[in-house]
Structure formats: C-alpha cells, structure tokens
C-alpha cells in the first residue's frame, strides 16, 4: 500500500464530475486500499477518488476513524436514493485542510452503491454518516462543500484561504 497525494482546492479536477466505475478488478482494489490508507493517515473520515486525482465515482469512508471495522466502507458509483430532515454542523474536507465551516445537510440519507466486487447495496445513515455520504457523493459529482454554503459563508472561507495562500500556508 502507498499514500496518495491529496488534491487541494482550487485544483480544477475537484469541479469535474467523475466517470462511473465499470471494471471491478485488481487495479480498483489497489486504489481503494491506498485510498483507505491515505484517509486514515490524513486523518479524515471520508475520501473520494477525485481527491487523489482519479476521476472515478467512488469514495471510502469510516466515521469511527478506524476504531470500528464495521464502519469501514467503500461506496462505488454512489447514488443518493433517499433523504430526510436537516442537520446543521461544522464540516471539514481533506481538500480544504484546516477549514471547518457550517454546512446544512440532510439528517438522514440512503445511498445505493456497488461494493468492491460490484455487488449492489444500500447504506441508510443519519448524522455524521449521512453528512459524510452526502459530502463524498458530491465530490463524485464535481461539487465541493464550498458550493453548499450560503454566498456569505463562501466568501468568508475564500478570504481565509486567500490569506493562507499569501502566507504560503496552503498546500497546492
Ligand atoms: Zn471533501
């Protein structure tokens, strides 16, 4: 396994909708294993393939941060099939290191996806699990959490990043 380089905003690859996965082969397994290692090492609770420069529709997620093996999940070709309620809370993103900002999300989400062998399954999650699945599925569609903020909050975050860029404290 090896660590992958995480792409940071405003790299234009983050704005491109990813292509569906059609081959469930050893290359895919290798990519997924490397993505898990990269996510745990960052550390983060979710990582989409576009964030490591691979334009494929998939993400890895572990809302327990490696503590509960049952929460280690890969969702390939994810599709949100149900949403319910609202939640408010701070959200982070490995492509925006150190930035945590309030984003409104659905409280519950049901996402349909393929597993590593190509078998279809659904994950029904609330709170952090729902937030994470929605955030990562957005990445597969070329959407970053900045796009989900109100225009005012977006400006505040952009200004903060500009400052960090000027200070040489923002990775490119
Ligand atoms: Zn993200």
pLDDT tens, per residue, the chain with 172 residues: 799 999 999 999 999 999 999 999 999 999 999 999 999 999 999 999 999 999 999 999 999 999 999 999 999 999 999 999 999 999 999 999 999 999 999 999 999 999 999 999 999 999 999 999 999 999 999 999 999 998 999 999 999 999 999 999 999 8
Q: In terms of residue numbers, what domain contains 121?
A: 12-166
CA of residue 73 to ligand 1 center, whole Å: 16
In a domain, 41, yes or no: yes
Q: Is residue 5 part of a domain?
A: no
Cα of 90 to ligand 1 centre, how many Å? 13
Is 72 a domain residue?
Answer: yes
Burial class (CB within 10 angstroms; exposed 0-12, middle 13-18, buried 19+) of 139: buried
Domain contains 89: yes
Residues designated as active site: 136
Q: What is the CATH number of the domain that holds 135?
A: 3.90.45.10
SS3 135: helix
- Residue 143 in any domain: the answer is yes
Measure 42 CA to ligand 1 centroid, in angstroms: 12
Which residues are within 5 Å of ligand 1 (an ion), measured at CB? 93
- The verdict on residue 97 lying in a domain is yes
Domain count, the chain: 1
DSSP per residue, 23-64: --SHHHHHHHHHHHHHHHHTT-SEEEGGGGT--BSEEEE-TT
**All residues at 6 or more sequence positions from 138 whose CB lies less than 8 Å from its CB, including other chains:** 144, 145, 147, 148
């Amino acid at each position: 396994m090896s660590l992958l380089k995480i792409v940071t905003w405003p790299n234009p690859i983050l704005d491109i909708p990813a292509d569906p996965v059609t081959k469930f082969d050893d290359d895919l397994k290798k990519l997924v294993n490397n993505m898990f290692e990269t996510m745990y090492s960052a550390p983060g609770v979710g990582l989409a393939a576009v964030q490591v420069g691979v334009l494929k529709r998939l993400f890895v997620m572990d809302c327990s941060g490696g503590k509960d093996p049952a929460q280690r999940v890969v969702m390939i070709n994810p599709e949100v099939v149900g949403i319910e309620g609202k939640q408010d809370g701070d959200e982070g993103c490995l492509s925006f290191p150190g930035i945590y900002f309030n984003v409104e999300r659905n409280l519950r989400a049901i996402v349909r996806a393929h597993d590593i062998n190509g078998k279809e399954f659904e994950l029904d999650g609330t709170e952090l699990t729902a937030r994470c699945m929605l955030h990562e599925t957005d990445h597969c569609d070329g959407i970053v959490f900045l796009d989900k903020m109100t225009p005012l909050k977006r400006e505040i975050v952009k200004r903060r990043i500009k400052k960090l860029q000027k200070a040489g404290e923002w990775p490119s």
